[in-house]
Amino acid sequence: MKYCSECGKKVSISIPEGDNRPRHICSSCNTIHYQNPKMVVGCLVEHENKILLCKRAIEPRYGLWTLPAGFMENDETTMQAAARETIEEAGADVEITQLFTMFSLPHIDQVYMLYRAKFKEVAFAAGSESLEVSLFAESEIPWDEIAFPVITESLKRFFVDKKAGQFQIHNGAMFKQINNEKITFDVAVLNDH
Amino acid sequence: MKYCSECGKKVSISIPEGDNRPRHICSSCNTIHYQNPKMVVGCLVEHENKILLCKRAIEPRYGLWTLPAGFMENDETTMQAAARETIEEAGADVEITQLFTMFSLPHIDQVYMLYRAKFKEVAFAAGSESLEVSLFAESEIPWDEIAFPVITESLKRFFVDKKAGQFQIHNGAMFKQINNEKITFDVAVLNDH
């Protein structure tokens, strides 16, 4: 952010009175421009022990597989956002059944939220942001070609819970670590035993 | 939003190619400015069957009671945000124990998330945004002086679960209704029985 979205003049960065964080503040009209994390919301659609994955037709991670998910929009609920993204990316009309994972990703200022869902009718097709959409059993999942670590983590937890016969709600965070140029993630989850 | 935060020129509203929603787009540098919901995160701090409430020292709802909660910041997790807000507004250092409610409030583009928490040590004091902070038993809660409907809804669900001896995670939405100038909220929650 370089200019004020209210008056078009330059912004500078300083800590407003009564605040404790640097903000973008307009030097002309004094508007404070707050920046906050965004929610990415989507679905784990299950059908006959298989999960619906989409092969990405867009960057980042073109050609890799992910769950249908995307940025929550204004004027909708998290459940509506998850169902909308599943229609848009996977051509699947679903019923949301339960919150499954909610991971904060502080290194990219996102909160990633995935719901369990089932087809209203069994139909799916690649949307404009997908090259291909398909159902995968656990043994068929292309683990080395998953687009994002939060998706791998959520899929793993899904199959663990499925075997245990009980689905938890997994709420936590993934912290990016870089050691010797190798990227890993520390996962911390409330109530994980 | 009237001006581009990247180049300072005027923005106009139109639907970008490949999108399906009107966005603010810069007429000069073509940057698309997305606007997304914000998360408000806080704590239900319980101690000896009482809940910690803060009397607001700021608008909106100056002088009314609420739970310690506020906008999640970049570069933090939802749990860190909830604990930070509880320190800032209620002077209480807490341990987060469980997600309790997550309500979408689409009429104000917010997702409101409250965690159950307990004191690390029993100490609290009004922060700069609070006039007063106090512990209330259910029978003492000033139900007619609660600042926000989502707080009333969350407190009611807390005491119902407490009596039942089991805390659920309540994920849903509150939809604002206006009938004959009277404002009410329709509440829809996943897995509510």
The CATH number linked to A1 is 2.20.70.10
First to last CA, chain B: 42
Residue A142: φ, ψ to 5°: -80, 75
Q: Which residue of B has its CA nearest to A187?
A: B77
Question: Each residue of B123-182: pLDDT tens digit?
Answer: 999 999 999 999 999 999 999 999 999 999 999 999 999 999 999 999 999 999 999 999
Residues A140, A159, single domain; the answer is yes
Residue B20 CA to residue B22 CA, distance in Å, equals 7
Residues paired with residue A80 on neighbouring β-strands, in sequence order: none
pLDDT at B186: 96
> Which residues lie closer than 8 Å to A56 by C-beta, 6 or more apart?
A62, A63, A64, A65, A66, A129, A130, A131, A147
Residues B74, B43, single domain; the answer is yes
Residues B16, B77, single domain; the answer is no
Residue B76 CA to residue A108 CA, distance in Å, equals 10
Question: Can you tell me the mean pLDDT for B103-121?
Answer: 98
Q: Per the structure, how many domains does chain A have?
A: 2
CB-closest option in A72, A173, A191 to B37: A72
More confident residue, B192 or B102: B102
The answer to whether the CB atoms of A36 and B72 lie below 8 A apart is yes
DSSP characters for B75-116? TS-HHHHHHHHHHHHH---EEEEEEEEEEEEGGGTEEEEEEE
> Which residues lie closer than 8 Å to A11 by C-beta, 6 or more apart?
A1, A2, A3, A4, A24, A25, A26, A27, A33, B5
> Which residues lie closer than 8 Å to B63 by C-beta, 6 or more apart?
B55, B56, B131, B145
Question: Can you tell me the mean pLDDT for A71-80?
Answer: 98
DSSP characters for B143-174? GGGBS-HHHHHHHHHHHHHHHHT-PPPEEEEE
pLDDT at A193: 55
Return the ∠ at Cα B183 (arms to B111 and A75), rounded to 5°.
35
Residues B75, B166, single domain; the answer is yes
Residues B7, B101, single domain; the answer is no
CB-closest option in A2, A33, A128 to B6: A2
Is A2 within 8 Å of chain B by CB?
yes
Contact by Cβ (8 Å): A38, A109: yes
Residues B98, B171, single domain; the answer is yes
**How near does any CA of chain A get to the CA of B175, in Å?**
10
- pLDDT over 90 (residue A39): yes
Residue with tokens 């043994």: A139
Least confident range from A117-121, A178-182, B88-92: namely A178-182
Residue B51 CA to residue B117 CA, distance in Å, equals 10
Per CB-CB distance under 8 Å, the chain B contacts of A111 are 39, 72, 78
**How near does any CA of chain B get to the CA of A180, in Å?**
23
Residues paired with residue A33 on neighbouring β-strands, in sequence order: A24
Interface test with A, best of B15, B74, B95 (most A CBs within 10 A): B74
Residues A13, A78, single domain; the answer is no
Count H helices, E strands: chain B? 2, 12
Residues B82, B111, single domain; the answer is yes
Residues B9, B57, single domain; the answer is no
The answer to whether the CB atoms of A5 and B3 lie below 8 A apart is yes
Question: Can you tell me the mean pLDDT for B185-191?
Answer: 93
CB-closest option in A2, A37, A74 to B35: A74
Put simply, the chain B residues between 129 and 168 with a CB less than 8 A from any chain A CB are none
Residue A3 CA to residue B10 CA, distance in Å, equals 11
The answer to whether the CB atoms of B7 and A7 lie below 8 A apart is no
Residues A28, A115, single domain; the answer is no
Question: Can you tell me the mean pLDDT for A75-88?
Answer: 98
Residues A4, A97, single domain; the answer is no
pLDDT at A18: 85
Is B173 within 8 Å of chain A by CB?
yes
CB-closest option in A18, A106, A191 to B75: A106
Model pTM? Answer: 0.96
Token code pair at residue B119: 């004191």
- pLDDT over 80 (residue B192): no
Task: Show the domain range for B149.
Answer: 39-189
pLDDT at A191: 81
Contact by Cβ (8 Å): A38, A125: no
The answer to whether the CB atoms of A73 and B37 lie below 8 A apart is yes
What mean pLDDT, rounded, does chain A reach? 96
**ipTM for the complex shown:** 0.95
**How near does any CA of chain B get to the CA of A142, in Å?**
28
Residues B116, B166, single domain; the answer is yes
CB-closest option in B7, B74, B106 to A77: B106
Put simply, the chain B residues between 9 and 28 with a CB less than 8 A from any chain A CB are 9-11, 18, 21
Return the ∠ at Cα B28 (arms to B22 and B34), rounded to 5°.
30
CATH of the domain at A70: 3.90.79.10
Is A4 within 8 Å of chain B by CB?
yes
Is A78 within 8 Å of chain B by CB?
yes
Beta strand A38-47 pairing with A110-119: parallel
